[in-house]
Amino acid sequence: MINRSIAIDGPAGSGKSTIAKIIAKENNLMYINTGAMYRAVTYYAIKAGISYDEVSKLIDLIDNLEMHFEGDRLIVNGTDITDELTYPEISNNVSNYAAVKEVREKLVSFQQKMSQKYEVIMDGRDIGTVVLKDAKYKFFLTAKAEERAKRRCKELIEKGIEVDFNNILEEIEKRDYIDTHREINPLTKADDAMEIDTSSMTIDEVVKKISGLLN
């Protein structure tokens, strides 16, 4: 299935999931939001009082999470937790949990199994470099940090969550730093990925650009 699969990576708020959702629908691909999976682990770990350095507890926790996607919703142990995953508490902690080698091994293996079963479009940080190294199509979306923070604020406000622009900008920059500097599978553009700076592009323009390259 790897041949028609599409990998999209990029920093926080670069538009990956918005774009991936649309392309998935247009091309009849399964959309796998890998960030949601790291967020789900963070959500349940915080709930259970497990810190990111308690590795064996984290592994046990993950082994007891059954995750699957229904459209763009993530269902964990039978519950749709998609809305909870964007809470600031999760965003502020997820990069620490995502930097744990054993957490990544578990989730990457799950993601690779999905890509063997289905034709997928996957977004994340290590998709083009690790998870779907052989994907035919790889994109790396970027945008200026201020623009990304603006988009994230708008998204959260629409969900009825109160936000402060400077806090969001700070959270995004901190996450980018941890994600690009971690030892295991850091966020980086795959050599064969096409980089698209979306700072001054509309969603529609990005979708058109990507769609035009698929065949």
**Cα distance between residue 52 and residue 93, in whole Å:** 9
Chain residues 85-114 in contact with ligand CDP, contact rule CB under 6 A: 94-95, 98
Query: Which residue pairs, CB below 8 angstroms and at least 24 apart, start in 13-18?
Result: 13/143, 13/148, 13/149, 13/151, 13/152, 13/172, 14/141, 14/142, 14/143, 14/148, 14/198, 15/141, 15/143, 15/151, 15/198, 15/203, 15/206, 16/123, 16/124, 16/141, 17/72, 17/123, 18/203
One of 13, 44, 81, 93 touching ligand CDP (CB under 6 A):
13
Binding of residue 128 to ligand CDP (CB under 6 A): no
Binding of residue 17 to ligand CDP (CB under 6 A): yes
Residues 160-189, one symbol each (x = binds ligand CDP by CB under 6 A, - = not), give ---------------x---x----------
**Do the annotations mark residue 14 as ligand-binding?**
yes
Chain residues 29-48 in contact with ligand CDP, contact rule CB under 6 A: 34-36, 38-39
Binding of residue 15 to ligand CDP (CB under 6 A): no
Interacting residues with ligand CDP (CB under 6 A) = 12-13, 17, 34-36, 38-39, 94-95, 98, 124-126, 175, 179
